[in-house]
Amino acid sequence: MARNLMIQGTMSGAGKSILTAGILRVLAQDGYKVAPFKSQNMALNSFVTRDGREIGRAQALQAFAAGMEPSADMNPILLKPTGQTASQVIVNGLPVGDMRAADYFGKKKEFIPEILGAYERLSERSDIVVIEGAGSPVEINLRENDIVNMGFAQMVDAPVLLVGNIDPGGVFAQLLGTVQLMSAQERARVKGLIINKFRGDKKLLDPGLSMFKEYCDIPFVGVVPYADFELEEEDSLSEKLAVSGGFVRGGSAGAGNVIRIAVVRLPYISNYTDFDIFEKVPDAELIYTDSVEAVKAADMVILPGTKNTSNDLKWLQEKGFDKAIFEAREKGSLIVGICGGFQMLGQRITGEDVAAGASAGQDNRAVSSAELKGLGLLPVETVFMDEKTLVQNEGVLGGASGEFASLNGVAYRGYEIHMGQSFGVAGEVICDGNVLGTYIHGFFDSAEVTGKVLDIISKKKGIGSVCDGRLDLWTYRERELDKLAVVVRNSLDMDYIYRVIEGKA
């Protein structure tokens, strides 16, 4: 069995996911076969493995950091919120149904055999497993049935490093309060403390590290500086999802030459990282917005994926985004729908998911009709069924027409995650003039696909190509992970961390 190490945080947003990825990268660079593990994750940002299983996007990123193929064993329980008090429950990569929060809380210990089975399989093919906790380990009302923090650390006898985020302030109180709320048995597992996201001169922090010894005898393992790594984030806390009212900056050739891309910030937006590549283009401005005016002003409007197509479609129509999208299309802007956003662009949506929205635990905006009228911009109809499509795919694009015809013959790779089936689609994409729909998540990760789309916009605006020399997202991710590893190696006492892993600290 593999040795292990667990990274827990004082709160959500402490930076556990990225720090775990960095530690994995360092261990992999040092020649160890390493793997990430998170027993339970709650996220709408997910990834499909090669064998058609669904896991949290953060664990996929950590797998890439470790140099491993992502596997459902790395995240055996994934919760995808469908409303304020309910989630779709995914076990070992496959959906088992929707549950209200109270029902899941009462049943989650039943999933322990599945969790331990996944961990054991992963451990058998690894030297070291780096485990990520969730939220805070000292939510005292949740301690009894814990399967993701100290409860799981006890199950697999894992030593723990506790991470606090200094950026919002109060990091010493975070760390001390967390440790003091632990039982003696739990506290004994904590082998080191990490301060994350530090800005400024570390010499000014050193006196505080020394004074802290008066209150807590757990040693500090390091102080990690604030760094702007362009890597996938957990969706619920991403700063980029703080909605924007409109476009704010100009490009290098003047404000009129900036390519403006507006992603509609749906209430149940999922896989928003599909559009990260546009942030690498200096002359493109990408915003996530709830402003109809921003949609009207955009050169490209994107309807992203959603975990609740029916409710988000109703929200879209109630807020007037349908009219704004029609206006943008008429003025010549490109309109793109991905997955749930693609379904919304069609003629209508029918099926069990639409009819039974309220019974699935969705909030009080849940629809009661058995049919919803789509935006009518693409000649497709979607029918929801129980079976979920989970598949990786790659190949050469076909089916593009109209203003998107230049995409035909371009290589792509991505994955599909959706409950509905859309009829009227002949290829990977379906187009009508300046409107395109596809089920492919990661559609824009390819530099060639992105370049073709931005060239369409550039020609409309009468400017030169803005994509010369752009990297694809896969290459860019590897470069960022290597940069992360340098920061982690320089900031943490890796010799001590190895002693922790070996049981010698």
Per-residue pLDDT of the chain (505 residues; tens, 9 = 90+): 899 999 999 999 999 999 999 999 999 999 999 999 999 999 888 999 999 999 999 999 999 999 999 999 999 999 998 877 889 999 999 999 899 988 998 888 999 999 999 999 999 999 999 999 999 999 988 888 899 999 999 999 999 999 999 999 999 999 999 999 999 999 999 999 999 999 989 999 999 999 999 999 999 999 999 988 888 766 554 566 665 666 654 444 344 568 999 999 999 998 988 998 898 888 889 999 999 999 999 999 999 999 889 899 999 999 999 999 999 999 999 999 999 999 999 999 998 555 444 333 333 334 445 788 999 999 999 998 878 899 999 999 988 999 999 999 999 999 999 988 888 887 799 999 999 999 999 999 998 999 999 999 999 998 877 776 667 888 889 999 999 999 999 999 999 999 999 999 9
Exposed, middle or buried, 238 (CB in 10 Å: 0-12/13-18/19+)? middle
**Structure-block tokens of residue 491:** 């900031």
Element housing 84 (H / E): none
Query: How far from chain centre, in Å, is Cα 389?
Result: 19
Using CA atoms of 347, 54, 306, 281 in order, give the dihedral in degrees to the nearest 10: -100
Q: Hey, what amino acid is at 290?
A: D
Exposure string of 394-431, with b = 16+ CB inside 10 Å and e = fewer, is eeebebbbebbeebbebebbbbbbbbbbbeebebbbbb
Residue 89, token pair as written in the block: 């429950």
CA–CA dist 499, 292 (Å, integer) = 55
Neighbours of 468 (CB within 10 A): 7
pLDDT per position as a tens digit, 297-324: 999 999 999 988 989 999 999 999 999 9
Question: What is the token pair recorded at 14?
Answer: 């402490």
User: Tokens 């003091």 — which residue?
Assistant: 180
What values do phi and psi take at 335, rounded to 5?
-120, 125
Q: Which residues of 204-237 are buried (b: 16+ CB within 10 A; e: fewer)?
A: eeeeeeeebeeebebebbbbbeebeeebbbbbee
235 phi and psi angles, rounded to 5 deg:
-65, -35
Q: How many Å from the N-terminal Cα to the C-terminal Cα in the chain?
A: 20
pLDDT number for residue 127: 98
Ramachandran region of residue 182, left (φ > 0), alpha (ψ -120 to 50) or beta? beta
For 401, the token pair is 């027409």
Chain mean position to CA 10: 21
pLDDT one-digit tens code per residue, 346-393: 999 998 555 444 333 333 334 445 788 999 999 999 998 878 899 999
Give the H or E element holding residue 296.
helix 292-297
Pick from 452, 106, 437: which is nearest to 302 by CA?
437
The model's pLDDT over 188-244, given as tens digits with 9 standing for 90+, comes to 999 999 999 999 899 999 999 999 999 999 999 999 999 888 887 665 545 666 656
Distance (Å, rounded) from C-alpha 95 to C-alpha 88?
7
What span, in angstroms and rounded, lies between the C-alpha atoms of 322 and 344?
10
What is the distance between the alpha carbons of residues 191 and 237, in angstroms, rounded to a whole number? 27
Q: Which domains does the chain have, with CATH numbers?
A: 3-39+112-232+478-501 (3.40.50.300), 239-470 (3.40.50.880)
- Of 465, 455, 470, give the one whose Cα is nearest residue 404: 455
Q: What is the DSSP string of 254-273?
A: BGGG-EEEEEE--TTEE-GG
Q: Catalytic residue numbers?
A: 339, 441
For residue 170, CA distances in Å to 118, 165, 174, 177, 422 come to: 37, 8, 6, 10, 50
Position 469, amino acid = G
CB atoms within 10 A of CB 242: 8
